Amino acid sequence: MNEYINILQIIRGTTVDGPGFRTSIYIAGCRHECPGCHNPSSWDFNGGTPYTIEQLMDIIKEEDFDVTLSGGDPLYHPEFVKELIKAVNAIGHNGWLYTGFR
Ligand code: SF4
């Protein structure tokens, strides 16, 4: 598992990525090339800024909201995402994830 992944944006307290107020984390990188993709600028895996799970959890704990992962496609980093969601669940919050994988 990578120690860090590149994050494009973190939105604190959004209501558009799932139920209730959420911390939304946009992970860089996608190769699906879906027709009509809403955000082709997110496809570059080298975009954004690197974050570790610990750094992301510091922000998630600070906000104390449920969490949504989007991108890009978070599931290009399955082990990192699994550990991040486990950490989110461990503090009593749910984690949603948007993916282009089937
Ligand atoms: S999975 Fe999402 S980011 Fe990737 S190409 Fe499809 S719509 Fe765009």
Fill in the amino acid letter for 47: G
Section 37-50 average pLDDT = 96
> Which of 79, 81, 102 has its CA nearest to residue 32?
102
* Three-state secondary structure call for residue 65: coil
Gap between the Cα atoms of 16 and 12, Å rounded: 11
| Closest residue to atom 8 of ligand 1, CA basis | 37
Ligand 1 centroid from CA 2, angstroms: 22
| Average pLDDT for 79-84 | 98
Candidate of 26, 39, 69 to mutate for ligand 1, largest count of ligand atoms within 8 Å of Cβ: 39
pTM: 0.96
Q: Tokens 């860089």 map to which residue?
A: 28
- Other beta carbons within 10 angstroms of residue 50's beta carbon come to 13
* Side-chain half-sphere CA neighbours of 48 within 13 A: 21
Mean pLDDT in the chain?
97
* Residue with CA at minimum distance from ligand 1 atom 7: 37
Mean per-residue pLDDT for 66-70? 98
Kind of pairing between the strands at 22-27 and 49-52: unpaired
Q: Closest Cα to atom 6, ligand 1: which residue? A: 34
Which pLDDT score is estimated for 36?
Answer: 95
